[in-house]
Amino acid sequence: MTDAKQAAAEPPWAAFVAIDWADRKHFWRLAPAEGGCQEHGQIDSTPEAVEAWATQLGIQYSGRPIAVCLEQSKGALVYMLAKYSHLVLFPIHPRTAAQYRETFCPSGAKSDPSDSASLLDLLLRHRERLRSLQPDTPPTRLLRTLVEARRRLVNDKTQQKNRLTATLKMYFPQILQWFDEVDSPLVSALLQRWSSLGELKRCHPGTLKKFFLEHNCRGQERIRKRLEAIGQAVSATEDEAIVVGGSLQARMLVETIALLRGQIAEYDRRIAELVDSHPDSGLFASLPGAGAVLIPRLIAAFGTQRERFRSASEVQCLSGIAPVTEKSGQSEWVHFRWACPKFLRQTFQEYAAHSIARSGWARAYYQAQRQQGKSHQVAVRALAYKWIRIIFRCWKEGQPYDEQTYLRALRRSGSRLIDRFRLDTQGEWKTVAGFQKFSPLPS
């Protein structure tokens, strides 16, 4: 946006404020729009103190709009200030604020009052480069909060699963051989009842068989093999300290895993309700490879505000899928983009990986990248780069994705991917050792 357009789009500001937030106190600096002496001070981080400060500004400037910049795009202070209609928030990336401060203070000297002064200078001089915070609709923001929280719970469950595996290896490793998933409800129930091999071997086979049947393990042959294995098993150690300590920790871990499993199920239920009622659910459900987990994450990634992104490139850069190019003299190099929302990048990479098995052209493109010597992760990111452009177009126009429409567009453009796609359809994909492998049909 040019300076002239920015000036035309801006409201008649009453004042400009910068806040350097902290855990207990926030330092602020204010410059009136009509000029004059700047004011500064500090406020406690409590909701009551922020309420009094924001209300006083509204009275002082008769409810006219006030531009406020701070080093947060989400967080406690942002949520407190967002409810005041006369405050327009301009989030500043912490790295941007730090480098702007170092530009005029190369010594590295730093203090909260000086940080607020630097932020205010950035707001006054370079406001045309900043974007005001435009909150999405409440359902979309709730969906974004829930999918991020769910992912954290999944990570916590994985961590507890790894701890349980390490514990069982010390005193009861047979569990890892008898069951495919150590974090399954069946294993949790078994370890809560018999947490060591000694306790399990003392149990009557009829009781064990009844236990397996009650926990949806109804394969008679599988039950028979497990009972035989339990009867022939030998303790990994007779050290009472290891067995008793390991048993206690295993019980604690399976209870934690069961709790997390229930919490994840509750998040799934709430997320599914939001997706069912979301206006863009059909659009994202049309994407090949997008299921119950990825559909809400993709909705949250794009949001519902069509004006939020002007081009697909903005989404590619924001998510970290687009690489960074650096040039200096005769040198030029491209490298991975580190500064980005990690969860957003994971969303696009994981979707691209899932699409390989569901989309013919995506599979052909991935294979082409691999044949060029690219690693799996690099090839998936390259595929995600293309998917973002496609999804962005569908999202902007509000149209579901159609594979045949995209293939016709590739043919019109003379894309070499079409030839690879034709070759791809002359074979079949098989799952080998958990991986998808392409096998050409016999000629």
Give one DSSP letter per residue of 210-259, joined into a string.
Answer: HHHHHTT---HHHHHHHHHHHHH---S---HHHHHHHHHHHHHHHHHHHH
- Tokens 């806040």 locate to 19
Same domain, 177 and 271: yes
Q: For residue 442, report the phi and psi dihedrals to the nearest 5 degrees.
A: -65, 140
pLDDT at 274 exceeding the cut of 80? yes
* Mean pLDDT to the nearest integer, 109-121: 84
* Mean pLDDT to the nearest integer, 303-328: 90
The pLDDT assigned to 431 comes to 54
- The model carries a pTM of 0.83
User: Rounded mean pLDDT of the chain?
Assistant: 89
- What's the gap between Cα 17 and its chain centre? 31
In a domain, 323, yes or no: yes
Same domain, 108 and 182: no
Q: What gap in Å lies between CA 366 and CA 353, rounded to an integer? A: 9
**236 contact partners, CB below 8 Å, separation of at least 6:** 170, 171, 172, 173, 197
* pLDDT grade for 429, boundaries at 50, 70 and 90: very low
Domain count along the chain = 3
**403 contact partners, CB below 8 Å, separation of at least 6:** 288, 359, 360, 361
Last residue of a domain, one of 135, 162, 177: 135
Last residue of a domain, one of 86, 118, 135: 135
Contact (Cβ atoms closer than 8 angstroms) between residue 198 and residue 182: no
In a domain, 432, yes or no: no
The pLDDT assigned to 7 comes to 45
In a domain, 415, yes or no: no
Q: What gap in Å lies between CA 186 and CA 136, rounded to an integer? A: 42
Looking at residue 123, its amino acid is: L
Tell me which residue range forms the domain holding 213: 141-275
pLDDT at 87 exceeding the cut of 80? yes
Count of residues in the chain: 443
The pLDDT assigned to 443 comes to 43
In a domain, 426, yes or no: no
Same domain, 148 and 196: yes
- Return the structure tokens found at 133: 């915070």
* Mean pLDDT to the nearest integer, 172-200: 94
For 188, other C-beta atoms within 10 Å of its C-beta total 22
Identify the weakest region by mean pLDDT among 74-83, 88-97, 338-347, 429-438: 429-438
* pLDDT grade for 439, boundaries at 50, 70 and 90: low
* pLDDT grade for 3, boundaries at 50, 70 and 90: very low
* Mean pLDDT to the nearest integer, 32-51: 92
Could you give the C-alpha distances from 328 to 298, 325, 331, 334, in angstroms and in order?
37, 10, 5, 12
Same domain, 8 and 94: yes
Same domain, 150 and 266: yes
Burial (Cβ within 10 Å: 0-12, 13-18, ≥19) of residue 331: exposed
More confident: 342 or 9: 342
The pLDDT assigned to 4 comes to 42
In a domain, 412, yes or no: no
Identify the weakest region by mean pLDDT among 149-163, 322-336, 378-392: 322-336
Q: Identify which of 325, 311, 374, 317 has the alpha carbon closest to the alpha carbon of residue 348.
A: 317
In a domain, 303, yes or no: yes
Same domain, 293 and 381: yes
The DSSP secondary-structure symbol of 441 reads: P
More confident: 135 or 395: 395
* pLDDT grade for 432, boundaries at 50, 70 and 90: low
Q: What gap in Å lies between CA 68 and CA 76, rounded to an integer? A: 15
Contact (Cβ atoms closer than 8 angstroms) between residue 118 and residue 97: yes
For residue 428, the SS3 value is strand
pLDDT at 430 exceeding the cut of 60? no
Identify the weakest region by mean pLDDT among 54-58, 75-79, 295-299: 75-79
